[in-house]
């Protein structure tokens, strides 16, 4: 089955700087890669996603890149703000069974 590895587990960046979180996956059939943000006391919420037919996608300060050959994808947050502090999860899914397999999460701290 699919296995998703996520690094780092904790990340601290100065406000205004960029943050990068990286994930790898094992199942070459995976074709959908969502990223979720989980704030304290809430369930994970989708912030951006990418399909395997696209190499990069951007939404304001958030971007995701995908390298299918290397089976890795990354989340980039630019001009970080205090409200970006949260736990971020990457995930992978194939069209076969619609299961979403999550990475272990990255706790992002934005330092003032």
Partner 1 sequence: ETGVTQTPRHLVMGMTNKKSLKCEQHLGHNAMYWYKQSAKKPLELMFVYNFKEQTENNSVPSRFSPECPNSSHLFLHLHTLQPEDSALYLCASSQAGTGVAEAFFGQGTRLTVV
Give the interface with partner 1 as residue ranges (CB under 8 A): 31-32, 34, 36, 41-46, 49, 51, 89, 93, 95, 97-102, 104-105
Which of these, 100, 41, 23, 36, lies nearest to 62 by C-alpha position? Answer: 36
CA distance 66 to 73: 4
Tokens of 37: 């943000």
Looking at the Cβ atoms of 77 and 103, the one nearer to partner 1 is 103
Cβ at position 55, least distance to partner 1 in Å: 17
CA distance 74 to 67: 9
Tokens of 1: 């089955």
Cβ at position 99, least distance to partner 1 in Å: 6
Looking at the Cβ atoms of 18 and 45, the one nearer to partner 1 is 45
Cβ at position 100, least distance to partner 1 in Å: 5
């Amino acid at each position: 089955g699919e296995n998703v590895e996520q690094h780092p587990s904790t990340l601290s960046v100065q406000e205004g700087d960029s943050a990068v979180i990286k994930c790898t996956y094992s199942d070459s059939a995976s074709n959908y890669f969502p990223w979720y943000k989980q704030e304290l006391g809430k369930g994970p919420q989708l912030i951006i996603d990418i399909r395997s037919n696209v190499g990069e996608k951007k939404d304001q300060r958030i971007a995701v890149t995908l390298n299918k050959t290397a089976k890795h994808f990354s989340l980039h947050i630019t001009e970080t703000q205090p409200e970006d502090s949260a736990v971020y999860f990457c995930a992978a899914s194939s069209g076969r069974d619609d299961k979403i397999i999550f990475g272990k999460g990255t706790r992002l701290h934005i330092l003032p």
